[in-house]
Structure 1
Amino acid sequence: MLSVYVKYTKTMDNENITNIHEFDFNFICDFFLNTERQGPGSPEVTLKALSFIDNLTDNSHIADIGCGTGGQTMVLAQHAPGHITGIDFFPGFIDRFNRNAGKLNLQDRVKGVVGSMDNLPFREEELDLIWSEGAIYNIGFERGLNEWRKYLKTGGYIAVSEISWFTEQRPAEIHNFWMELYPEVDTIPNKVARIQKAGYIPVATFILPEICWTEHYYAPLATVREKFLAEYAGNKNAEEFVASSDHEEELYRRYKEFYGYVFYIAKKIV
């Protein structure tokens, strides 16, 4: 779960790894390591999405794919029963994830493991719930829906937040920016149609409020940028990395009426 401006694909296959600016992965990990969330969201939004999911028990198995350091995972664990496995490509994130679980005394049922979202360590029909906040884009929305479906039990749920257009038309600057980074960005009705095509019943869809970007994501990054530039003083790649983050934030503030994250919750019935 990372800023989608710094686009890369979390796979173990080097041919599939895409990093638009060819930043060192260490930059990405170091930059986001001390943030609670690696993308827009909030505890309130996590709980709202969770409210549409039923039938979870102490024996339920949940996967948070692209979990980052686990900000949203810990919220899930504190409000839902069952065992949760967090999956992320970055070992540093998983180390922090497991420390966070320990601090909250959740280590008996919450565990983070290093892994690839295109090679998940689960059996077919093992999971009751697949969760992924701001991360499914790494494998692709449609591909993730199709490939992850086999891991869900009949009656199991998938809940993902995904960048989406709010309007059919939008200014060329923001349209071209996102289409270059993530060609699968689309309108909400088209995303719902893809969910149905992949064999799920859409259960709920809602737009994440602006506060998820401004207060819960961009505001904490101000301090992170300052510390990051001090750590990598004089490093041109680090400076470019931070500049890209600043640019993404500026574009959001200018064009937030046209796009944002949307939570999609769906159910596998057969």
Structure 2
Amino acid sequence: MSENKSIHEFDFTLICNYFKSIERQGPGSPEVTRKAVSFINELSDSAKIADIGCGTGGQTMILADCIKGQITGIDLFPDFIELFNRNAINTHHEDRVKGITGSMDNLPFQDEELDLIWSEGAIYNIGFERGMNEWNRFLKPNGFIAVTEVSWFTSERPAEIEDFWMDAYPEINTVPAKIAQMEKAGYTPTAHFILPENCWTEHFYAPQVPVQEAFLKEHSENKAAFEFIANQRHEQNLYNRHKEYYGYVFYIGQKRD
């Protein structure tokens, strides 16, 4: 059945065309971004920030409202970056927010260049543990990292949701396990909190409904498009049924000297 297909099996162009129509490419909200900022030391105008896996910048523009400094957004998809830079202009942040195309496993920063690394709903592309370890060198001593990561809330869960996530993202783990990985990678964990349910329902899944209808009309001859939408709807149904067992967690840490 198409429902059981992993998102990794779908064409990147198809995925990009779908998600560029949505303000957020993953669960989150302006309130959650602002809350995460509250756990970070105040930055100066000369601070350097990277938003890694920035998508079209839904969260980046909120971040720019909350902090000082220069923000570089990085994403693999040129279409996302084009929209990102348009959003920066529309929100009057173009003087200090710039998007560039690039890969999170080959970042264009110098060692100890950044004061803050931000990544909402994206570190899974490289893996939480690998990202925490590899990105550490780009941070100044005492610099901050703030990422959201899908995590288990319980030590046991129904096989249906366990199987789905082990296929989609085998690195999914419990909150204490993720915090331990942060510590091992050279950070002092300063805060963590679970993203509220509305980050999924109101800010991520609800906006997809009209987009799905338009997407299916546009790709009416494309079997993969129908399979992709079935996959998205299946994921939403799983969340509705099993949300007490998993969700996104914001992890915030400070690089140790």
Compute the TM-score of the two structures, normalised by the length of structure 2: 0.97
CA contact (8 A) 2:42 2:67 kept: no
Asked whether 1:44 is paired with 2:40, we answer no
Asked whether 1:141 is paired with 2:141, we answer no
Partner SS, residue 159 of structure 1: strand
Partner SS, residue 250 of structure 1: helix
The 1:6/1:138 distance shift into structure 2, 3 A limit, reads farther
Identify the match of residue 239 of structure 2 among 244, 249, 252: 252
Partner SS, residue 36 of structure 2: helix
Identify the match of residue 104 of structure 2 among 117, 121, 134: 117
- Residue 201 of structure 2 corresponds to 214
State the alpha-carbon separation in 1 of the partners of residues 131 and 240 from structure 2.
29
Partner SS, residue 183 of structure 1: coil
1:149 positional shift: 0.2
The 1:206/1:268 distance shift into structure 2, 3 A limit, reads same
Identify the match of residue 93 of structure 1 among 64, 73, 80: 80
Partner SS, residue 205 of structure 1: strand
| Pairing 1:26-45 to 2, within 5 Å after superposition | 26-45=13-32
Partner SS, residue 56 of structure 1: coil
Partner SS, residue 13 of structure 2: helix
| Pairing 1:181-196 to 2, within 5 Å after superposition | 181-196=168-183
State the alpha-carbon separation in 1 of the partners of residues 56 and 42 from structure 2.
27
Count of aligned pairs between the two proteins: 253
1:6 positional shift: 6.1
State the alpha-carbon separation in 2 of the partners of residues 181 and 114 from structure 1.
25
State the alpha-carbon separation in 2 of the partners of residues 111 and 209 from structure 1.
29
Identify the match of residue 58 of structure 1 among 45, 48, 59: 45
In structure 2, the gaps of 5 or more residues are none
- Residue 191 of structure 2 corresponds to 204
State the alpha-carbon separation in 2 of the partners of residues 182 and 217 from structure 1.
19
Partner SS, residue 170 of structure 1: coil
Identify the match of residue 107 of structure 1 among 94, 97, 101: 94
Partner SS, residue 45 of structure 2: coil
CA contact (8 A) 2:57 2:84 kept: yes
CA contact (8 A) 2:6 2:167 kept: no
Asked whether 1:241 is paired with 2:242, we answer no
1:234 positional shift: 2.1
State the alpha-carbon separation in 1 of the partners of residues 105 and 221 from structure 2.
36
1:47 positional shift: 0.4
Give the residue type in structure 1 aligned to 2:154.
T
Q: Deviations over 1:193-214 (max 9, x none)?
A: 0000111000001000000000
| Pairing 1:64-79 to 2, within 5 Å after superposition | 64-79=51-66
Give the residue type in structure 2 aligned to 1:260.
G
State the alpha-carbon separation in 2 of the partners of residues 182 and 34 from structure 1.
24
Give the residue type in structure 2 aligned to 1:184.
E
State the alpha-carbon separation in 2 of the partners of residues 250 and 83 from structure 1.
39
- Residue 83 of structure 1 corresponds to 70
State the alpha-carbon separation in 2 of the partners of residues 6 and 54 from structure 1.
39
**Superposition CA RMSD, Å:** 1.0
Partner SS, residue 34 of structure 1: coil
State the alpha-carbon separation in 1 of the partners of residues 165 and 156 from structure 2.
13
Identify the match of residue 267 of structure 1 among 238, 254, 257: 254
State the alpha-carbon separation in 1 of the partners of residues 164 and 231 from structure 2.
12
State the alpha-carbon separation in 2 of the partners of residues 132 and 95 from structure 1.
19
1:78 positional shift: 1.0
Give the residue type in structure 2 aligned to 1:200.
Y
| Pairing 1:152-167 to 2, within 5 Å after superposition | 152-167=139-154
Compute the TM-score of the two structures, normalised by the length of structure 1: 0.92
